[in-house]
Amino acid sequence: MTINQTRSLHIYKNPASKDVLSGQADTVVSFLVLQMAELSADPPPKRLHNLFPVAETAANATATDRISELPDALLIQILSLLPTKQSVVTGSLSKRWRPLWASVPILDFTDGIAGTVDRPERNEPKSRETSGFSEFVYSVLLLHEARPITRFRLRCSHWSCSQRDIATWLSQAARRGVEQLELSLSLSRYVALPRKLFNFETVVEMKLDGVFLNALAGFSVSLPSLKVLHVGDRVLFGCHDYVVKLLAGCPVLEKLVLESTYSDACGGPVCAQGMFDLNLNRLVKARIGFSWYKTCTKSMFLIFNSLSNVRCLSILSSTVECLKDSTASDIPVFNNLVQLEISFGNYSWDLLTNLLQHSQKLEVLTIYKESQKHANGHEPAWNLPLVVPECVLSHLKAFCLMEFQGLDCEMGFLRYVMQNARVLETMKISMASSLDPQTKLQIRSTLTALQLNIQSCQITFH
């Protein structure tokens, strides 16, 4: 880093101020990335001391650059914005930077081939890159000093990252009091996750993707501090009772994303009898896209009823498909629900009716309507409920309908809302791309005429 380069950045006027980082970190990180791109074009070597070349640009400068004059705490914050590999390589810039990476409380490891799921032949040796990746992770964990680890992210897509390696790395993170854990592996190879992963006392946020959770039957789950759980769409559960068991071990959960549609087998004890007592009273926000088999209704309704205290709920089409035949008695009363997003496919609107009847405080309703191919007049009908839901009458302020096709059921529901929603403020209608311009114009004319019933509501079309 030369003197002219540091002067041209014009980054910091007061290095001692905590506000220095705000709005300027991206500039610093961009500069560091450019420097490191020249120093580390190859995969990480086997030993960390090899990361630091003899030639040091900053050390040869005739004066100290402004960035290096910043206090350690501020430089560590800057390094925390980089992946761990790049953070380590900053030691090549100067002696001033060399020890700083070991104090960064964030560890972010990626094997560099995310998305690769094809497994090579068994006799094929490990590539230089994947072998170097494993040794790099071990070296970093050996020399890293920061405690606790605020975030530990491991994205390992290659088959050569062994189960023992992953278990060791996760155990190291647990011993150092990890608070945020993100794990993304490859479903192309089975990796049994260690017991410790499901008994982290300090973890507050956990994100899982590309993993098998079949081993949950063999041990208990205890995540007493976990507030955020994200189960991605590439997570495979051996049985639906494992989902319930995982959630039952998260007593203070506040945000849940459950998107996985994978399952090996069903018919376990929860699916058949509902043996778990699931209590998620602190849950505030949930996004549910899980898929159940017909034989698993016990676990399905056990989880769905545990969402009764949420304020924001998003139900994806895979879950709606499973709930479409539910009755009003199957739907819990959502005493605190103010925002509902729901995705519809080719099935009845009765579920929506039941949800509205059980959500008296609902203020925002968004419907993502999947395209239907039947002829108009033959699609599932919107049946007028005997009693107008309290939320529609007194609380609904914003309504959005996406992928509107102008079907009779859709028009019927829109008329119902516009006639009964007394406090509605905004309505957004997104037309399906398959509609021709003439049809879109006719729909707009019809809905604009209906707007006379709710003149205080602003209707927008897209």
In the prediction, which pLDDT does 99 show? 83
Instruction: Say yes or no to pLDDT of 119 above 70.
Output: no
In the prediction, which pLDDT does 362 show? 97
Q: Could you tell me if 221 and 197 are in contact, meaning their C-beta atoms sit under 8 angstroms apart?
A: no
Instruction: Say yes or no to pLDDT of 17 above 60.
Output: no
Question: From CA 173, how far away is CA 308, in angstroms rounded?
Answer: 34
- Greater confidence, 45 or 91? 91
Question: From CA 203, how far away is CA 216, in angstroms rounded?
Answer: 18
- Greater confidence, 210 or 363? 363
In the prediction, which pLDDT does 56 show? 45
Candidates 350, 365, 382; CA nearest to 314 is 365
- Greater confidence, 224 or 45? 224
Task: Give mean pLDDT, residues 153-167.
Answer: 80
pTM of this structure:
0.78
- Greater confidence, 423 or 7? 423
In the prediction, which pLDDT does 98 show? 81
Task: Give mean pLDDT, residues 260-281.
Answer: 64
Max CA distance (Å), the chain: 83
Average pLDDT of the chain, as a whole number = 77
Q: State the amino acid at position 299 in one-letter form.
A: S
- Greater confidence, 416 or 61? 416
Q: Omega into 148 within 30° of 0, i.e. cis?
A: yes
Task: Rank 129-143, 185-199, 352-366 by mean pLDDT and report only the highest.
Answer: 352-366
Instruction: Say yes or no to pLDDT of 201 above 60.
Output: yes
DSSP string, 369-390: EPP--SPTTSSPP-PPPSS--H
Task: Give mean pLDDT, residues 433-448.
Answer: 83
In the prediction, which pLDDT does 407 show? 83
In the prediction, which pLDDT does 283 show? 96
Task: Give mean pLDDT, residues 239-246.
Answer: 82
| Residue showing tokens 């405690």 | 147
* Residues 6+ away with beta carbon under 8 Å from 449: none
Task: Give mean pLDDT, residues 207-236.
Answer: 86
- Greater confidence, 13 or 350? 350
- Greater confidence, 55 or 170? 170
Encode pLDDT of 297-314 as tens digits. 777 888 889 999 999 999
In the prediction, which pLDDT does 411 show? 85
Question: From CA 356, how far away is CA 351, in angstroms rounded?
Answer: 9
The alpha carbon of residue 357 and the mean position of all alpha carbons in its chain are separated, in whole angstroms, by 30
Instruction: Say yes or no to pLDDT of 19 above 60.
Output: no
Taking each helix axis from N to C end, the angle separating 128-143 and 163-175, rounded to the nearest 10 degrees, works out to: 20
In the prediction, which pLDDT does 389 show? 93
342 — phi, psi (to 5°)?
A: -145, 140
Instruction: Say yes or no to pLDDT of 30 above 70.
Output: no
- Of all residues in the chain, the percent with pLDDT exceeding 90 is 24
42-46, 149-153, 268-272 — which is least confidently predicted? Answer: 42-46
Which of the four pLDDT bands, split at 50, 70 and 90, describes residue 54?
A: very low
Encode pLDDT of 273-290 as tens digits. 546 678 899 999 999 988
H/E segment holding residue 356: helix 350-357
In the prediction, which pLDDT does 62 show? 41
In the prediction, which pLDDT does 344 show? 80
Q: Omega into 194 within 30° of 0, i.e. cis?
A: no
In the prediction, which pLDDT does 57 show? 46
116-125, 294-303, 420-429 — which is least confidently predicted? Answer: 116-125
Encode pLDDT of 121-138 as tens digits. 444 444 455 568 888 899
